[in-house]
Amino acid sequence: MLFSAITKTIDAEARGFMKKGKPEKKYSQAGRVHDIIRLIEARYGVTVEELAEETGVDRRTIYRDLSVIHEAGYPLVSEWRNGRKAYRFLTRFKDIPPISFTLQELMTISFLRSQLDFLKGTPFQDDMESIYGKINSVLPPRYAAHMERIAGVSMPVLQGRRDYAKASETLKTVREALLFQYSLMLEYTTGGSGAKASYKIDPYTMVSYKGGLYLLGFAHNRQALRTFAVERISTVEVSRERFEIPEDFSPEQQFKTAFGIVGETPMPVRVRFSPRVAHTIHDRVWHPTQSIEKQSDGSIILAFEAGGVMEIVSWVLSFGDSAEILEPEKLRDDVRKAVHEMCKLYGPLLTDC
């Protein structure tokens, strides 16, 4: 079913490439494209020269046919073999069986779709709407309307969300690089100073954290994994140089020791929460290493080991006088400094600062 739909797309693309009034060759471009797809699938990599010889056309025509195949959605990639560029597919489309969903699964898709409001204006939301449109097109009208209601009542509340519509073209480029494992050249704004730095990175994955999008990849100039906030990427370009993701790479492992998105040296942290907020802390997982100690007065002590000083301090401060950092002393000092600066702002009413 999926293979049939893709070949129909290729037929349409191929017709668009054919010039009006020009006599047809031995067989149409659509037929030739079908043959090229079979050759690539059968040989796990074939050169332009081999394709030209097999189909009886010149190299320029083959490049045009490969462009049609790529634009039709096939995961076409290239790599150098013995001084020649060979083309292959990352997956075998025709081997993918038709996919069906239960009503419970459709409800889950509807719910997840409603949670992606922060992606508005990006290619990811466009793809989700396209997927949802295809699903709705085969649902009975009553079910389709019901799924829309589910999505409507589960709209997320996102205060201070980022506007990624302005980064739409950047995300399209990043998505292509992630899909085909191409290296990227990007210019990145670091910190609040506005200084810019250039990076060559191998993009490994995208990370979503608190309504923000981050690109995680190997930075060649740092020889280490780095996390890049999408909104700080000012320019990005695909290098067409392919890379392989290390077999031992794991996004979960990368952030295991972080409290949030910032990777720093982990440290033992203990925070006391008053009885007033203890129930809201007790019922959540704040970090994989956490442990909770109940106190006789109804308060609790949350302990974990993680890095990310700024993220931990801002999180504790969000609970006001209901949270106190017990250790390490460095974090207590950071909170003291933050409170002291706040006293300067509200000083007239805070005589004990």
Domains and CATH numbers, the chain: 2-95 (1.10.10.10), 103-153 (no CATH), 164-248 (2.30.30.520), 267-349 (3.30.70)
Q: Please say if the pLDDT value at position 19 is more than 50.
A: no
Strands (E), 177-296: 182-190, 195-209, 212-219, 224-229, 233-242, 267-273, 291-294
User: In this structure, are residues 304 and 327 in contact, taking their beta carbons and an 8 Å threshold?
Assistant: no
The pLDDT of residue 292 is 95
Is 312's pLDDT higher than 90?
Answer: yes
pLDDT at 68 over 90: no
Angle at which helix 48-55 crosses helix 59-71, to 10 degrees, equals 100
Determine phi and psi for 234, rounding to 5 degrees: -85, -40
pLDDT of residue 262: 83
pLDDT in tens, 316-348: 999 999 999 999 999 999 999 998 888 888 876
pLDDT surpassing 60 at residue 242: yes
Kindly state the average pLDDT of the residues 274-278: 95
Please tell me the predicted confidence (pLDDT) of residue 94: 55
* pLDDT confidence band for 158 (50 / 70 / 90): low
Question: What is the pLDDT at residue 230?
Answer: 92
When mean pLDDT is compared across 66-80, 256-270, 296-310, the lowest value belongs to 66-80
| Neighbour tally for 62: CB within 10 Å | 22
Q: What per-residue confidence (pLDDT) applies to 220?
A: 94
Q: Which range, 72-76, 208-212, 307-311, has the best average confidence (pLDDT)?
A: 307-311
- Predicted pLDDT of residue 5: 46
Query: Given a cut of 50, is residue 300 above it in pLDDT?
Result: yes
Q: What is the DSSP string of 34-63?
A: HHHHHHHHHHT-EEHHHHHHHHT--HHHHH
Q: Is the predicted pLDDT of residue 54 greater than 90, yes or no?
A: no
pLDDT mean over 210-236: 90
Q: What pLDDT shows up at residue 95? A: 54
Residue 15 has pLDDT above 70, yes or no: no
Of the candidate ranges 160-164, 201-205, 285-289, the one whose mean pLDDT is the lowest: 160-164
pLDDT in tens, 190-218: 876 778 899 999 999 888 887 788 999 99
What is the 8-class DSSP label of residue 111? Answer: H
Question: Tell me, what's the pLDDT at 251?
Answer: 77
> How confident is residue 257, by pLDDT bands cut at 50, 70 and 90?
confident
> How far is it, in rounded angstroms, from Cα 353 to Cα 350?
6
pLDDT at 183 over 70: yes
**According to the model, what pLDDT value does residue 9 have?**
47
pLDDT at 64 over 70: yes
pLDDT of 3 strictly over 50: no
| Burial category of 29 from C-beta neighbours within 10 Å (exposed 0-12, middle 13-18, buried 19 and up) | buried
- Identify the residue with better confidence: 321 or 148: 321
Average confidence (pLDDT) over 110-137: 78
Query: What are the CA-CA distances from residue 55 to residues 17, 20, 37 (Å)?
Result: 17, 22, 12
* Banded pLDDT at 283 (limits 50, 70, 90): confident
Is the pLDDT confidence value at 168 over 80?
A: yes
What pLDDT does residue 234 have? 92
- Alpha-carbon Rg for the chain in angstroms: 27
Mean pLDDT of the region 260-283: 91
Average pLDDT of the residues of the chain: 81
* pLDDT at residue 24, as a whole number: 42
